[in-house]
Amino acid sequence: MIFIKEFFMAAMAVVGFGLLFNIPKKAFPLAALAGGLGWISYVYFLQVLDSVIGATFMGTCVLAIISEIFARTFKETVTVFTIPAIIPLVPGSGMYYSMLAIIDSDYALFASVGSQTLFIAASISAALLIVSSTTRIVMNIKMKVGTN
Partner 1 sequence: MYTTKKAWVELALYAGEIMLKNGAETYRVEDTIIRICKMHDIHSVESFVTPTGIFVSVNDIPDSPSISFIKRIKNRTINLNKVSKVNDFSRKISNINLSFEEGMRELRIIDFIPAYGKLFEGLGAGIASAFFGVLLGANILDVLISFFISIVIYLVLEFIDSLDTNLFIQNTIGGAIAAFLAIVAITLNIGIDIDKIIISSIMILLPGVAITNAVRDSISGDLISGLARTAEAIIIAVSIAIGVGLVMHIWIQFLGGAL
Give the shortest CB-15-to-partner 1 separation in angstroms.
Answer: 6
Q: DSSP string covering 16-63, please?
A: HHHHHTT--GGGHHHHHHHHHHHHHHHHHHHHHH--HHHHHHHHHHHH
Contact window for partner 1 (CB under 8 A) among 7-15, 46-54, 139-147:
7-15
Closest CA to 37 of 78, 81, 79: 81
User: Does 20 sit near partner 1 (CB under 8 A)?
Assistant: yes
Which residues would be at the binding site for partner 1 (CB under 8 A)? 6, 9-10, 12-13, 15-24, 27, 39, 75-77, 79-80, 83, 86-88, 90, 92-93, 95-100, 102-103, 121-122, 124-126, 128-129
